[in-house]
Amino acid sequence: MDIVRDESVKKRKRQKQTIMIVIAVIAVLGVTLGVSNLNPHPQALNLARSGRTPSSADRCSTGHGLGTLVPTPADIRLIPAETDVRLNGYWELPGTPVKAETIIMELSNPQVEQEAMDADLQVKSALADYQNTKVKSQRSANAESWSGQR
């Protein structure tokens, strides 16, 4: 046989379920708001409240925390090349500590390379002309000495 339930029991059960759902929704909203308001580092909040921008921070100041250091557009300097060059390869990756004598990348200029080859060929041509002139002068000196001996 089925037991007949009162409407009051069904009503209390429905109210209990509604209260549990409302509590769960409030808990999820509270956790979401709490996580969204987390600050990665407490000093970042102090810096923001002080009205100072990261670019106005002292050069010698130190800090702690996780994250990435991103340069502001004012810190990025583009250096225009005086000649057209071709990038042959990188020797060092970004973020690698370097010294003054460290080669960072290899550049080449096809026009300058062609001019260097032309200059090398001109030097070789001038050396060949010099050798020809030297041999001719020796022949003429030898010819004069032969004619003087007869």
Alpha-carbon torsion angle 102, 107, 112, 118, nearest 10 = 80
pLDDT of 41 > 60? The answer is no
* Residue 42 or 128, more confident: 128
The per-residue pLDDT for 104 is 85
The per-residue pLDDT for 8 is 82
The per-residue pLDDT for 128 is 96
Asked whether 67 and 47 are in contact (CB, 8 A), the reply is no
DSSP string, 19-77: HHHHHHHHHHHHHHHHHHT--S-HHHHHHHHHT--GGGS-TT-----SS-----TTT--
The 10s digit of each residue's pLDDT in 54-74 is 554 445 455 566 666 666 666
Largest interatomic CA distance in the chain: 156
pTM assigned to the model: 0.35
